[in-house]
């Protein structure tokens, strides 16, 4: 389909972040918003993610974004007038500590979380087993639990934002690829696609695992890298596990989704920077070992599918949500470091406000300059 030849804003990337930005721009009354997606909506990291939504973070910014995003998820069915329920399940996230040092970090995180009204609390090993009765307590010294964390369906959240954005007049072009961004001086003048040129002076980079390639189009070397993360899903069973069970040191996350299957993954510390999306046998073996040890009854379940997606990682594991200083009009919502889906709702609000020149509904500073200055606050809680 040929594209419009002119737009107020062009968003590159039809994942949940790009669509949330598109919807919020239209909601603020910005006309002629165009979104480009080179495959189908949600075909990148959004559809490949673990479908968890968590507020238990260690940095102020991640806590603030996650808490506000949870408010939006809780009201999303009504707010976006969805055709299909987004399958919100709030049965909590149980985070497990395997050493006193890790428990100390949890206590620090809990203090940050309480400032943002996140209802998380410390739990003893015994309390953890009350919450997840099939948990093997060997080696566990304690944990943290937030009862309002949980799950939503990434495919259906993507659809919800897309349909709501279309109703407000956003033009969404799927199977349309941004090939280059045209610049005159340091000003953006247009986006060249495989379906024609769109004149615009504002571009949003929401390209997830490929965001550095979009940065190159305007001559920027963005401080992000991409890395494969693998995941698997089992057959469905009756409800067994309420919360997501997660540990950073043991390195696992595992939840039962409302439909009944278990979804689980871990982060391979030796994974190189790449765009590799292939599945590995190594992951199957290591993942099932980890799950069978920590959650023994799961060993009787059949694995029915495995896949991989890209984390787009920044040096401090916090996203970049900002306008470029070097290239005015180049906005970025990138580097989500594996937790973009769960903070997409608030990201969409904040970036749209920035583009529209409105006061932000939340004070935040997530510009890329922090990496050059070196004043990083590292997010400690990433799998």
- CB of 33 vs other proteins, minimal distance in Å: 19
Restricting to residues 21-60, name those near other proteins by CB under 8 A. Answer: 40-43, 47
Interface with other proteins, residue 236, by CB under 8 A: yes
Q: Which stretch binds other proteins (CB under 8 A): 70-78, 217-225, 247-255, 302-310?
A: 302-310
Site string for other proteins, 90-129 (x = CB under 8 A): ----------------------------------------
The only residue of 299, 328, 369, 378 in contact with other proteins, by rule CB under 8 A: 299
Pairing of strands 203-205, 196-199: unpaired
Interface with other proteins, residue 285, by CB under 8 A: yes
Interface with other proteins, residue 155, by CB under 8 A: yes
- CB of 47 vs other proteins, minimal distance in Å: 6
Beta strands in 166-275 (DSSP E): 171-173, 178-184, 187-193, 196-199, 203-205, 225-236, 244-247, 252-256, 261-265
The only residue of 144, 291, 333, 350 in contact with other proteins, by rule CB under 8 A: 291
Site string for other proteins, 248-277 (x = CB under 8 A): -----------x------------------
Interface with other proteins, residue 282, by CB under 8 A: no
CA distances from 139 to 80, 148, 247, 285, 290 (A): 44, 26, 12, 21, 13
First to last CA, the chain: 40
In this structure, are residues 250 and 264 in contact, taking their beta carbons and an 8 Å threshold?
A: no
Long-range own/partner contacts, residues 101-109 (CB < 8 A, 24 or more apart): 102/141, 102/248, 102/249, 103/141, 103/142, 105/58, 105/380, 106/142, 106/143, 106/144, 108/58, 109/56, 109/57, 109/58, 109/144, 109/380, 109/381
Size of the site for other proteins (CB under 8 A): 33
Interface with other proteins, residue 195, by CB under 8 A: no
Structure tokens at 169: 């007049």
- CB of 291 vs other proteins, minimal distance in Å: 6
Interacting residues with other proteins (CB under 8 A)? 40-43, 47, 83-84, 155-156, 159, 234-236, 259, 279, 284-285, 288-289, 291-293, 296, 298-307
């Amino acid at each position: 389909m040929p594209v419009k030849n002119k737009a107020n804003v062009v968003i590159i990337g039809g994942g949940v972040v790009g669509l949330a930005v598109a919807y919020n721009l239209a909601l603020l009354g910005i006309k002629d918003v165009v979104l480009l997606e080179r495959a189908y909506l949600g075909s990148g990291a959004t559809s490949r993610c673990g479908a968890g939504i968590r507020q238990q973070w260690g940095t102020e910014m991640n806590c603030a974004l996650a808490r506000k995003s949870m408010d939006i998820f809780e009201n999303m069915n009504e707010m976006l007038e969805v055709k299909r329920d987004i399958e919100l399940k709030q049965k909590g996230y149980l985070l497990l500590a395997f050493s006193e040092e890790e428990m100390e970090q949890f206590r620090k995180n809990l203090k940050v979380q309480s400032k943002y009204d996140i209802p998380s609390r410390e739990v003893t090993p015994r309390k953890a087993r009350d919450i997840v009765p099939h948990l093997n307590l060997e080696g566990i010294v304690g944990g943290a639990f937030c009862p309002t964390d949980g799950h939503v369906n990434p495919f259906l959240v993507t659809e919800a934002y897309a349909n709501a954005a279309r109703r407000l007049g956003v033009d969404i072009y799927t199977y349309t690829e941004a090939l280059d961004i045209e610049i005159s001086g340091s000003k953006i003048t247009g986006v060249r696609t495989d379906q024609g040129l769109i004149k615009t002076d504002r571009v949003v980079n929401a390209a997830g695992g490929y965001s550095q390639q979009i940065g190159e189009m305007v001559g920027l070397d963005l401080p992000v890298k991409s890395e494969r993360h693998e995941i698997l899903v089992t057959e469905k069973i009756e409800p067994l596990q309420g919360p997501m069970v997660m540990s950073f040191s043991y390195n696992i996350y595992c939840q039962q989704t409302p439909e009944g299957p278990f979804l689980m993954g871990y982060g391979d510390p030796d994974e190189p920077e790449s765009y590799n999306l292939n599945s590995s046998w190594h992951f199957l073996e290591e993942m099932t070992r980890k799950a069978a040890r920590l959650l023994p009854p799961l060993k009787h379940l059949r694995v029915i599918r495995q896949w991989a997606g890209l984390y787009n990682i920044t040096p401090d594991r916090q996203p970049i949500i900002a306008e470029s200083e070097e290239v005015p009009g180049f906005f970025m919502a990138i580097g989500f470091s594996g937790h973009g889906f769960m903070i997409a709702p608030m990201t969409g609000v904040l970036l749209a406000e920035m583009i529209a020149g409105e006061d932000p509904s939340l004070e935040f500073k997530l510009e890329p300059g922090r990496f050059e200055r070196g004043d990083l606050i590292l997010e400690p809680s990433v799998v």
